Amino acid sequence: MRTIIVGAGIGGLTAALACLHCGIDVEVYEQAPAFAEVGAGVQISANGSRVLLALGLESALKSLWVEPTGKEIRLWNTGETWKLFDLGVVSRERYGAPYFMIHRADLHRTLIDAVAALKSDAVRLNSRYLTFEQDESGVKITLEDGTSVRGDVLIGADGVHSQIRNQLTGTDRPHFTGCLAWRGLIRSSLLPPNFARPVGTNWVGSGGHVVTYPVRGLESFNFVGIIERNDWQVESWTARGTHEECAADFEGWHPDIHEIIRNIEVPYKWALLGRQPLTRWSFGRATLLGDAAHPTLPMLAQGANMAIEDGAVLAQCLSENASVGQALSRYEDFRIGRTTRLVNGALDNAKRFHNPALANGAGAKKYVEDEWQEDKVKQRYDWIFEYDATRAEEAPRMSGMTAAMYRS
């Protein structure tokens, strides 16, 4: 089977690696002329790391990741701190896999190297996808330079602005969520020594929240600051802002937040757009994966994790089903209920993280103690972290919602 993947992001590369492990031939077409280093971290929870470890990446990733001891909740103005959940050995014991934080470029490079070790010319750079056609015998994609390529299956892993999604399901109508995400990396040596802890922090406040965590040993620090603001609607990894503008958005927040903002290398801004979950994404020999299939808000830190899960499940479906059509519809059945629940869960978390009750004093404290009770936290996160995408047959049951339930 010749599988064409469009997009060499975390999702496309994981799918390529998983397919190669299953003995399925892949070609990955990526528009970028070279892999640029996106300056940001990513959190990989047990449901994502379980797949990466099954693909043999533990030794390569181990020297690059930070395995935090836990995550905490802090109040935006006083800095008062509560436990969110324990990680480290607890994640390994409870979910059977680690939770780690990593520089995106390090994870990306590891995936590229692993794919290249199995098929050296699998990834074709400078190959911008334009369109595709399909018939009973196969698919044909056309690239911007006029080249066309035939294969048996097309996987659209072309990210949040997916052209393949538009071709399959009609033009996207995203809605602006009213939130802007500030993003940046900070060298830890520029921060006071007490910042260098292997812990992730979610600062919560009325109308905004901030997520910080270490990457590259404790050498760097990742900052994502999300604030409700209506005047910036560009969804981009590369749009720059200024330190002053970012600081103004978090006026009145704890001095630790301002210490971090002052030291961000380059503050980037990203408008958060929401999209209705799709009710279908496999059509004949073409399907979608990752952000192309189920773009999500970052409030559960699950976009990359879902893309990784998709890759593992898709490879299993392609290797275990007699026909391509059957494999893709099974893949969609396994994935659509869970990913829809995650997309909706991220929306709910936005309301929780930005709740007006967090504005002040005793009300804020009571809100945190109530919303982040241990039982409630377990209910919100266990079903996410427990999921085992390496055993697709069990996936619908473990996701807590089957495709049939979702569609009814």
Catalytic residues: 213
Tokens of 56: 């043999």
Cβ distance to ligand FAD smaller for residue 272 or 364: 272
Q: How far is the CB of 14 from ligand FAD (least distance, A)?
A: 8
d(CA 277, CA 172) in angstroms, rounded, equals: 11
d(CA 294, CA 177) in angstroms, rounded, equals: 16
Q: How far is the CB of 212 from ligand FAD (least distance, A)?
A: 12
What is the SS3 string spanning 159-183? Answer: CCCCHHHHHHHCCCCCEEEEEEEEE
Cβ distance to ligand FAD smaller for residue 235 or 259: 235
Q: Which residue has the tokens 């939770």?
A: 99
Q: How far is the CB of 65 from ligand FAD (least distance, A)?
A: 13
Do 24 and 322 contact (CB within 8 A), yes or no?
no
Ranges assigned E (strand) in 34-136: 41-44, 70-75, 81-86, 100-103, 123-124, 129-135
Cβ distance to ligand FAD smaller for residue 85 or 367: 85
Using CB under 6 A, list all residues that contact ligand FAD. Answer: 6-12, 29-32, 42-43, 128-129, 157-160, 163, 181, 183, 224, 270, 290-292, 298, 301-305, 307
Tokens of 22: 């299953």
Q: How far is the CB of 130 from ligand FAD (least distance, A)?
A: 7
Tokens of 337: 């209920």
Q: Kind and range of the H or E element at 205?
A: strand 199-205
Cβ distance to ligand FAD smaller for residue 29 or 387: 29
Alpha-carbon radius of gyration of the chain: 21
Cβ distance to ligand FAD smaller for residue 47 or 355: 47
Q: Residue type for 235, please?
A: E
Q: Which residue has the tokens 């830190």?
A: 301
Q: How far is the CB of 19 from ligand FAD (least distance, A)?
A: 15
